Amino acid sequence: MFNGVFNFDAKFWKTLIPLLTNPGKVSKDYKEGKRSRYSNPFRFYITVSIISFLILGLKINYKKYQALVKADVQKELSINEKINNTEIERDSITKIVQKELDKSIIPISKKQKKEILDDIEKEENDSIKKKKAKKRNFSFGKGTRIEKFLEFQKEHPKTDVDNALDSLKYSKNFNNRFLYQRVKVMNKVMDDNDSYDKFVNESLSYISISLFIFLPLFTLFLKLLYVRRKFTYVDHLIFVFHTQTVFFMLLTIVYILSFFMKVENASIFILIFLTYLFLAMKKFYDQGYIKTLFKFLMLNFVYMIMAVLGVVLVTLISFAIY
C-alpha cells in the first residue's frame, strides 16, 4: 500500500515541478488526455498530504524537545520560584540562565540558547504582570450552561459529575453528564501542554479524513459555478485535488522554513496561494479576467464558510471522542 502511495518515480517529479510553477497546466493537460506523463491526481494528493501532516507532527515534537531543554534549565535554577518570591534584577536572571545553559548536559545550539533566554525573559515579564495567566482559554458566552460547567470544573476539578450537577442545580440526565465530561476534557487540554499536543495531533488526523468528504462536496459547488461550461464533475475534482495539493506543498514549505526562522504570520503564504489559485482558474477554465475574478471571489467565500463549519465540526467531534 505505502509503496503505491510513496512512489517517487519520474512521474512524481514531472507532476511536481509544473504543478508548482505553472498554475492550471497539469489539470488542463490531464483533462485534455495528456495523462501518461503525470501522476494520478488522487494518489499525488494523498502522498503530499501525508508528508505535510508528518512534518507538522515533527514540528510539534521539536517544540516538545525545546520544552524539555527549557525545563532542564528551569529545574536547576528554580527560576519561577525566584521570580515570584524575590526581586531579582532582570539582567541577573539572564546571566544566571546563560551560565546554566553553558553547562547544561543537553547539547544546545546558539540559536536554541537565544530562544530559551527570550522565552524565560518573556515569562518573567508575564509573571510580574500576572502570575497565573492562562495561555489558552474557552469562552462560550457568560451565563451559558457550558460556561458555568467550565468555571465550576476549573474551580472544583476533583468533584465528580453527579455532585457537580447537583451543585450547579442541573438535572442528572445523559446530556448534562456527557457535556460535563467533555468540559473536563476541555479544561485538561487547555491547561496541560501534553494533552493539548495530543489533542492537536488527533484533530489533524480527523481533518485529513474529513477532507475526503469536504473536497468532493466543494467540487459540487465548483460544478454549479461553471454549469454552462463543458466540464465533467471529474474534471472539476481533478482541479480541486491539484490546487489542494499545492496548498499542502506551500504549507509544508512554510513549516520547514519555520525551523530555521521565525514566521510571524501566514499572510505571505495566503497571498501566494490565492495568486496561484486565481492563475490556475484562469488557465484551466479559460475565461476572461473579470469572469475569473468574480468566480474566484465566490469560490473563496464558499470555501471559507465550508472550512469554518468543517473545523468547528471536527473540533466538536475531537472533543466528543477524545
Nearest CA to 217 out of 90, 306, 150, 96 is that of 306
Contact, 292 vs 282, CB < 8 A? yes
Residue 245 class from Cβ within 10 Å (0-12 exposed, 13-18 middle, 19+ buried)? buried
Q: Give this prediction's pTM.
A: 0.65
Site of grid cell 495568486: 275
Give residue 302's pLDDT. Answer: 92
| Cα distances (angstroms) measured from residue 198 to each of 139, 188, 203 | 21, 11, 9
- pLDDT given at position 130: 47
Predicted local confidence at residue 19, as pLDDT = 92
Supply the pLDDT for residue 273.
Answer: 92
**Residue 147 CA to chain centroid, in angstroms?**
25
Rounded distance, CA 191 to CA 188, Å? 5
> Which amino acid would we find at residue 236?
H
pLDDT at residue 79, as a whole number: 53
Q: Compute the distance between CA of residue 214 and CA of residue 70 in angstroms, rounded to an integer.
A: 40
Mind spelling out the 3-state secondary structure of 46-90?
HHHHHHHHHHHHHHHHHHHHHHHHHHHHHHHHCHHHHHHHCCCCH
pLDDT score for 245: 92
CA distances 12 to 16, 19, 44, 49, 88, Å, are 6, 10, 8, 14, 58
Give pLDDT tens digits along the chain (322 positions).
Answer: 444 444 556 788 888 889 999 999 999 999 888 888 888 888 888 888 888 878 776 666 655 555 555 555 555 555 555 555 554 455 555 565 566 555 554 555 666 656 666 666 666 565 554 444 444 555 555 667 878 888 888 888 888 888 888 888 888 888 888 888 888 777 777 776 666 667 766 676 677 677 778 889 999 999 999 988 889 999 999 999 999 999 988 888 887 777 676 666 567 888 899 999 999 999 999 999 999 999 999 999 999 998 888 878 877 777 777 6
Q: Which of 126, 76, 67, 133 is nearest to 101 (CA)?
A: 76
